[in-house]
Amino acid sequence: MKLYTSYLSNAAYRVRIALDLKNLPYEPEYVLLSKDTGEDQSPEYLGINPLGMVPTLIDGHRVYRQSLSILEYLEDVYPVPSILPGSSRDRERIRSLSLVIATDIEPLTNFRIQAYMNDKLSLNDEQCAQWNRHWIHKGLQALEKLMEDNPATSSFCHGDLPTMADICLVSQVHGYEQQGWDLNQYPTVARIYQQCMNLSAFSSTAPQYQPDAQVQT
Amino acid sequence: MKLYTSYLSNAAYRVRIALDLKNLPYEPEYVLLSKDTGEDQSPEYLGINPLGMVPTLIDGHRVYRQSLSILEYLEDVYPVPSILPGSSRDRERIRSLSLVIATDIEPLTNFRIQAYMNDKLSLNDEQCAQWNRHWIHKGLQALEKLMEDNPATSSFCHGDLPTMADICLVSQVHGYEQQGWDLNQYPTVARIYQQCMNLSAFSSTAPQYQPDAQVQT
C-alpha cells in the first residue's frame, strides 16, 4: 500500500494510526500542502486525488480518499485486530463518537476555514481564535458528555482496546495538547488521550515525528 | 422504533429516507429546534440526547444519535434492501461520497454556523451568503468530479440502486433545489437528484411534507 500523507493533516494522522494498529506496512508519500488551503493543487497530485486533499491510500490498483471510509475499508479487508469490534450496537457507538470529531470539530477548524476567515472575511486573529475555541470546546464537551457516565467507556472510548473512536479522538486532541490547551475540563477525553499515547501506534505516528515535519519546521 | 426528527434538519431527513427505503415502520416525534442554534436545549430533550441535536433514533431500549452511524446501524441490523451493497471497494466508494456531504458541506452551512456568524462575528447577510455559496459550490464540485467520469456511477451515485451516498446527496441538495439554485453546473449531481426524487422514499420524506413544517411555516 502507498499512503499520501502530510504532518499538517489530522485526517492523514488517523490513517497512519489505523495502519500501524493493524500492522499493515505501507510506503509513505509526503504531500506538500499549502498552509493556506490545506490542499495540494499541483497537476501531479490532482491526477491522484482530484480534490487535492490528503490522505489518499492506494491499495492494489484502487485509490481511496476519505479518512473515515479508508478506516472502514481497512476494517473490512484486514479485520484483525479490529478497530470496530463488538455488536451492531457497539459499532454504532464507536462510529457515533468518531463522527463527533469528524463532522462537528475537524471541518470547522482546519486550514481552509482559517484561510477563508483571514482572506475573505478579513477577521482578525482574535476572532479566528475565538471561533476555534468555541467549536473545539463544544465538540470536546459533547464527547465528554457521551462518555463520562457511560459504562461502555473503559480504558478507551469504547471498551478496553483502541477503536476508530480513539483514532479520531487522538488525531484531533493531539494538536490541542501540543498547543498547551487545558484538557482537564474534559477529564474522560484527557484520560483516554493519555492512555492512547502510551501505545506506539498512536505516538510514533504523531505529526511531529513525520519526516515532512522535520524538513518544514 | 421511534425517531426524533425535525423538518429543519438535513441529518434527520437522511434517516427518514433510510427507514423508508428499508420499509421500517417508526413513530415520529417532532422536535422543536431553535432556528438560531439548530438545537433543542429543553431539559426533556437533553435527557434523550445530551447534545440537543436531531436525529435521535430509539430502537428497543437503545438510543442512537448521529445520522451516518444510524444509517450504518440500520444496515447492520436490517440489511435488506441494502444501502451499502457490493464489495469492500464498493462500500468504500459509497461511504466516501457520503462523507463529502457529511463532512465537507453540511457542518459548514447549518443553522448553528449561521447563528454564530450573525451573532458573534456580526457578519452581514451577503457575507453569510457568500460563505454558504463558497462551501456548497466546493463540495458539490468535488462530488461532481468524483462521479462524472466514473463508470461505477450509473442511475445513482454508485450503481443502479439507491445507497447511503444518494441519501446524503438528496438530504443536502434538496434545500438548494427548493431555494432555486442552478444545479446545471453539477450535471451528474442534478441528474441523480432527480432520479432519487422519482422514488417515494426520497420525495415523501422531504422536509416540506413533514407535519412539523406544516405547522411552523
- Complex prediction ipTM: 0.95
Q: Are strands A62-64 and B27-30 parallel, antiparallel or unpaired?
A: unpaired
Number of Cβ within 10 Å of residue A31's Cβ equals 25
pLDDT of residue A50: 87
Is A216's pLDDT higher than 80?
no
Average pLDDT rounded to a whole number, residues A108-123: 90
A73·B51 Cβ contact <8 A:
no
pLDDT of residue B214: 83
From residue A74, alpha-carbon distances to A15, A21, B88 in Å are 9, 11, 9
Is A38's pLDDT higher than 60?
yes
Residue range B12-50, pLDDT digits in tens: 999 999 999 999 999 999 999 988 788 999 999 999 998
Cα(A54)–Cα(A66) distance, integer angstroms: 8
Is B215's pLDDT higher than 80?
no
**Residue position matching grid coordinates 453569510:** B128
Q: B63 near A35, Cβ under 8 Å?
A: no
pLDDT of residue A64: 96
Cell of B40: 433543542
Task: Please list the alpha-helical segments (H only) found in B148-183.
Answer: 164-178
Q: Please state the pTM of the whole predicted model.
A: 0.96
Cβ-based contacts of A64 with chain B (< 8 Å): 92, 96
Instruction: Count contacts between A and B (CB, < 8 Å).
Output: 108
Q: What is the CATH number of domain A2-81+207-216?
A: 3.40.30.10
Cα(B64)–Cα(B70) distance, integer angstroms: 6
For domain B2-80, the CATH architecture is 3-Layer(aba) Sandwich (3.40)
Nearest to A51 among B66, B130, B142 (CB): B142
The pLDDT confidence band at residue A189, using thresholds 50, 70 and 90, is very high
Is B210's pLDDT higher than 60?
yes
- Per-residue DSSP letter, B1: -
List A residues 92-131 in contact with B (Cβ-Cβ < 8 A).
92-93, 95-96, 98-100, 102-104, 106-108, 113, 116, 120-121, 123, 127, 130-131
Is A76's pLDDT higher than 70?
yes
B51·A145 Cβ contact <8 A:
yes
Average pLDDT rounded to a whole number, residues A22-40: 93
User: Any CB–CB contact under 8 A between A61 and chain B?
Assistant: no
The pLDDT confidence band at residue A214, using thresholds 50, 70 and 90, is confident
Q: B139 near B46, Cβ under 8 Å?
A: no
Average pLDDT rounded to a whole number, residues A79-103: 97
Cell of A217: 519546521
Q: A119 near B107, Cβ under 8 Å?
A: no
Domain positions in chain A are 2-81+207-216, 88-203
B96·A51 Cβ contact <8 A:
no
Number of Cβ within 10 Å of residue B85's Cβ equals 16
The pLDDT confidence band at residue B216, using thresholds 50, 70 and 90, is low
Q: Which of A73-82, A168-177, B117-126, B134-143 has the lowest mean pLDDT?
A: B117-126
The pLDDT confidence band at residue A215, using thresholds 50, 70 and 90, is confident
pLDDT of residue A111: 86
A104·B107 Cβ contact <8 A:
yes
A76·B68 Cβ contact <8 A:
no
Residue range B53-91, pLDDT digits in tens: 999 999 999 999 999 999 999 999 999 999 999 999 999
User: Any CB–CB contact under 8 A between A69 and chain B?
Assistant: yes
Taking 3-state DSSP, the helix, strand and coil percentages for chain B, each rounded to the nearest 5, stand at 55, 10, 35
H or E element: which one contains A128?
A: helix A125-147
Average pLDDT rounded to a whole number, residues A134-146: 95
Is A75's pLDDT higher than 90?
yes
In words, the CATH class of domain A88-203 is mainly alpha
Closest-CA distance of chain B to residue A106, Å:
8
Give which of B186, B122, B174 is closest to B148, Cα–Cα. B186
Average pLDDT rounded to a whole number, residues B105-109: 94
